[in-house]
Structure 1
Amino acid sequence: MTRRTRSYDWDATPLDPGLLAQLPGIEIIRMIARGDLPAPSIAATLGMTLLPDAVDHGSVTFEGEPGDHVLNPLGTVHGGFAATLLDSAMGCAVHTLLPAGAGYGTVDLKVSFLRPILRHAGVVRVEGKVINAGRTLMLAEGRVVGRDDGKLYAHGTCTCFVQAGQ
Structure 2
Amino acid sequence: MTAIQYTPEDVGVVDLATLASMSGLEFLQAIARGELPGPPIAKTLGFNLAEVEEGRAVFISEPGLHHYNPIGTVHAGFTATLLDSCMACAVQSTLPKGTGYTTMEFKISLLRPMTKETGPVRAEGTLLSRGRRAATAEGRLTDAQGKLLAHATTTCLIFGL
TM-score between both structures, scaled by the size of structure 1: 0.88
- Cα offsets for 1:100-141 (capped at 9, x unmatched): 010100000100001111221101000001101111110010
- Cα offsets for 1:50-79 (capped at 9, x unmatched): 01xx21101010001100011112211111
Question: Is the Cα contact below 8 Å between 1:110 and 1:158 reproduced in 2?
Answer: yes
| Match among 107, 111, 116 for residue 110 of structure 1 | 107
Structure ranking higher in strand proportion: 2
Q: Give secondary structure in 2 for the equivalent of 1:92.
A: helix
Report the Cα distance in structure 1 between the residues aligned to 2:127 and 2:32, rounded to whole angstroms: 18
Q: Which amino acid in 2 is paired with 1:145?
A: T
| 2:41 is aligned with 1:42 | yes
Report the Cα distance in structure 1 between the residues aligned to 2:21 and 2:97, rounded to whole angstroms: 5
Q: Which amino acid in 1 is paired with 2:42?
A: A
Q: Give secondary structure in 1 for the equivalent of 2:11.
A: coil
CA RMSD of aligned residues (A): 1.4
| 2:161 is aligned with 1:162 | no
Long gaps (5+) in structure 1:
1-9
Long gaps (5+) in structure 2:
1-8
1:152 corresponds in structure 2 to 148
| 2:52 is aligned with 1:68 | no
Q: 1:105 to 1:68 in 2, by over 3 A?
A: same
Percent identity between matched residues is 48
Question: Is the Cα contact below 8 Å between 1:21 and 1:102 reproduced in 2?
Answer: yes
Shift of 1:13: 3.4
Q: 1:27 to 1:11 in 2, by over 3 A?
A: farther
Q: 1:82 to 1:139 in 2, by over 3 A?
A: same
Question: Is the Cα contact below 8 Å between 1:75 and 1:119 reproduced in 2?
Answer: no
Q: Give secondary structure in 1 for the equivalent of 2:104.
A: strand
Alignment of 1:68-147 (within 5 A): 68-147=65-144
Question: Is the Cα contact below 8 Å between 1:11 and 1:41 reproduced in 2?
Answer: no
